[in-house]
Amino acid sequence: MRRLKLPLGPVVLDPTGPALTEDDRRRLLHPAAGGVILFAHNFENVSQLIELTNEINSLRAPELPICVDHEGGRVQRFTEGFTAIPPMRQLGVLWDRDREAALQAARAVGTVIAAELGAHGLDFSFTPVLDLDYGASSVIGHRALHFDPGAVGALAAQLIGGLADAGMAAVGKHFPGHGFVTADSHHAVPTDPRPLRDLLKKDIAPYGAAIAAGLAAVMPAHVIYPQADAEPAGYSSYWLQEVLRGRLGFEGLIFSDDLSMEGASTAGGVPERARAALAAGCDQVLLCQNPKEQERLLESLAATPVAVPERIEKLRRRGGRDFRKSVAYRDALEALRQVP
């Protein structure tokens, strides 16, 4: 099949199952489509996954980047045929016992994730989580590396380096921090009432280390921080432009979190949510597991180009060989065995 030449649009969406349907293909060929995110419902086994990513790549030029939430622990969409990645908090446990071993293990995690995803046609994972573990958030919980900003920054920088070693970019989330709030933004609109100085001193600190390590993209939280702005971070030009781009000097891509989440509902319907996110400074918006609303969103953004396409290109996996055949990958698997 001849690939259709189309510039990438601002919408990242998921197919409905393990193989593309005609409706999936039509949506992915829409001018507003700009990326594909896969979930557990898109995975049966490794051969099927390769067939799926190959077909997605065959649809259009430039190819739609393909991504996944593959952090480890309870957020690992692909299981059979993939190494089980421990929850990120276990790296923090190791940090408290042996910092050098923890740093080595964090780099190994990144290498294994990138090597295995890349071998199956994925471009990147939404990794690492940079939220602090305040012990309050059930949705973050053991997804967080540590409660200490310095530990999170150091471990995340190594994880980002490990991803890069195997040809993959990193995406940090959930800016400026989701770890303090109790409510789950999938089902509520969380509010973090802390003073702005606490957020700037603690929660955003890991982003400095992550950006210095080569962080390619950031995903903001669907959380309101009323001491800074009345809008959730993903709709806030203060957080995205003044703090992330200005104070931290971040030049990479900004994704919205999933617009189907309750935390995104403050802006209205899905098209309104997307416009609010893009106006605040997001480059691309995610809408997952809702084909009917995906249709509406694509049509509403049909004439909306991606402002800086080069930011998307930096998220494509690099290197054509299977990194799983390397000594570095085998060493990384061995290092993972040191994680408690």
H or E element that contains 104: helix 99-118
Cβ–Cβ under 8 Å, residues 220 and 177:
no
CB 285 within 8 A of CB 240: no
The distance in angstroms from the start CA to the end CA of the chain is 48
* CA separation for the pair 146, 92 (Å, rounded): 5
Residues 6+ apart with CB under 8 A from 264: 185, 222, 232, 234, 256, 257, 258, 273
Q: Is 186 a catalytic residue?
A: yes
Query: In the numeric block, which tokens belong to residue 115?
Result: 């090597």
Neighbours of 313 (CB within 10 A): 12
Catalytic position from the list 24, 165, 257, 258: 257
Q: Which of 186, 229, 322, 331 is catalytic?
A: 186
Distance of CA 92 to the CA centre of its chain: 20
For this structure, is 257 an active site residue? yes
Coil, strand or helix: which one is 270? helix
Helices (H) and strands (E) in the chain, counts: 12, 12
Active site positions, annotated: 186, 257
